[in-house]
Amino acid sequence: MMSPSFNTGSTAAYISHISATVPSITFHHLPAIPLDLDSFPSMEAIIFEVLRLSNPHVRRALQFIASVSAFVIDFFCSSSLPISDELNIPTFFFLPSGACVLAFFLYFPKIHQNMTLSFKDMKNTLLHVPGIPPIPSSDMIRPMLDRESTDYKNFLDSALKFPNSAGLIVNTFERLESKPLKSIQEGKCNPDGNTPPVFCVGPLLATENRHGAAAAVHDCLKWLDSQPSKSVVYLCFGSLGLFSSNQLHEIALGLERSGQRFLWVVWSPPLGGERNRFLPPPEPDLDVILPAGFVDRTRDRRLVVKSWTPQVAVLNHASVGGVVMVEDMKVALRMNEAAEDGFVAAEEVERRVRELMESEKGNNVRKVVEEMSVAAREALSDGGSSIVALEKLVQLWKSG
């Protein structure tokens, strides 16, 4: 474990919880790397640099451990792959984002090779990746928009290292992403090189363990208990899904005009600056960040929660009928954004929420979601595809 310069303390609490409940897991704490955060162009650049500078400590830690069967890293830790190779330790990449993301990054070097423009200069050019729907270049994440940037080069370097690993551990299950998985396993996403074995071990769900949330949890689930079956739209974009004040206003107006019941987890607008991107914003003042009168006008059909809900419990609740969150999976409806800045107008929020909850198309989406929910449980049951994949992975480590 390593404490980054922007650590808020939540990691330490999580480690303490795991250490107390799963004593077989041992944590090796690496020295912190002091950096001038303001000298970096982005938080991604900071993460890559901190991990790169930590490599000497990683080497010592791996040498200290008596017997290492496998070394599991994520995308940002790819700079440590040469160390584990030198020490003859099989290294596996873990991808928490699923097979579609894996398919893209395996194919990313080919896209880079075939294009000369940055994604930001390609307008809405469609990027074709085997096994997944065409991706508008404008949908690329911010760190990858400029091919001359340090971030872009870091992402490309990590993608190039995927084929050099001993395996790819993916947070998905076969029925959910059968098309991209088929393309990956057939080598279509890395046509010029090796594709390591893929282990689908998902869905992996975090345990609900948040301090100080007991009252909010009770109120949230109690409110859902009082709503009709499959009648509530759930909006939760995560701690990194922060919106400007203007965008929050548009979401609120769209929800109000839709006439639908909704549970909305609201965070304060971002503080601004790369230093603050991964830090928790202050507690939101709903009377300030939401439209005047919104809370009162929607009181009978909504619950607005500040910053957090027990997501697994909410998503499993019978009253939740839709989630504002991939088209190929047929489990979501795409919202149309403004061409330049990704802004979504109130009219578009209203239209899509109505479509999800009232139309035949929305009904079909919700049916697929229910089917995938059943399939997810089957994948994690005894003899299920994800359990079998995990057992194969563990056996591989033991035999190595």
Task: Tell me: pLDDT of 57 over 80.
Answer: yes
What does the pLDDT read at residue 143?
94
pLDDT at 9 over 80: no
Q: Identify the residue with better confidence: 56 or 34.
A: 56
Cα atoms found within 13 Å of the Cα of residue 62, Cβ hemisphere only:
24
What's the pTM?
A: 0.86
The fraction of the chain above a pLDDT of 90, given in percent, is 60
212: pLDDT confidence band, cut at 50, 70 and 90? very low
Within 10 angstroms of residue 147's Cβ, the number of other Cβ atoms is: 16
pLDDT at residue 5 is higher than 70 = no
Q: Which residue has the higher pLDDT, 12 or 259?
A: 259
Q: Is the pLDDT of residue 361 over 50?
A: yes
What's the pLDDT score for residue 41?
A: 87
Contact present, 230 and 251 (Cβ < 8 Å): no
Q: What does the pLDDT read at residue 211?
A: 43
Percent residues over pLDDT 70 in the chain: 87
Per-residue pLDDT band for 7 (boundaries 50, 70, 90) equals low
Using CA atoms, how far apart are residues 307 and 281, in angstroms rounded to an integer? 9
* Mean pLDDT confidence for 18-22: 89
Q: State the Cα–Cα distance between residues 278 and 231, nearest whole angstrom.
A: 33
- Predicted confidence (pLDDT) at residue 258 exceeds the cutoff of 80: yes
What is the rounded average pLDDT of the residues 344-353?
90
More confident residue, 156 or 277: 156
Reading the block at residue 382, the tokens are 């005894």
Span 247-267, mean pLDDT? Answer: 94
Q: Tell me: pLDDT of 369 over 90.
A: no
pLDDT band of residue 18 (cuts 50, 70, 90) is: confident
Residue 261 has pLDDT above 50, yes or no: yes
Indicate whether 207 pLDDT > 80.
Answer: no
Q: With cut-offs at 50, 70 and 90, classify the pLDDT of residue 138.
A: confident
**Residue 16 has what pLDDT?**
86
Of the two residues 245 and 391, the one the predictor is more confident about is 391
- Pull the structure tokens for residue 255: 């929800």
pLDDT at 331: 56
Mean pLDDT computed over every residue of the chain: 88
**Which pLDDT does position 43 carry in this prediction?**
86
Is the pLDDT assigned to residue 325 strictly greater than 90?
no
CB within 8 Å of 123: residues ≥ 6 apart: 137, 138
Structure tokens at 146: 């400029």
Give the closest residue to 62 by CA, choosing from 40, 35, 89. 89
The pLDDT assigned to 237 comes to 79
What pLDDT does 44 receive?
A: 92
CB-hemisphere CA count at 13 Å for 73?
Answer: 27
- In the prediction, which pLDDT does 195 show? 97
* pLDDT on residue 209: 52
Find out whether 285 and 210 touch, Cβ atoms under 8 Å: no
Give the residue from 135, 146, 120, 202 showing the smallest Cα distance to 393. 202
CB 180 within 8 A of CB 392: no
Q: Could you give the 3-state DSSP secondary structure of residue 342?
A: coil
What average pLDDT score do residues 136-153 get? 94
Tell me what the mean pLDDT of segment 279-294 comes to.
86
For the cut 70, the answer to whether the pLDDT of residue 210 exceeds it is no
Residue 365's pLDDT band (cuts 50, 70, 90): confident
Whole-angstrom CA distances from 111 to 150, 191, 192, 212, 326 are 18, 12, 12, 46, 21
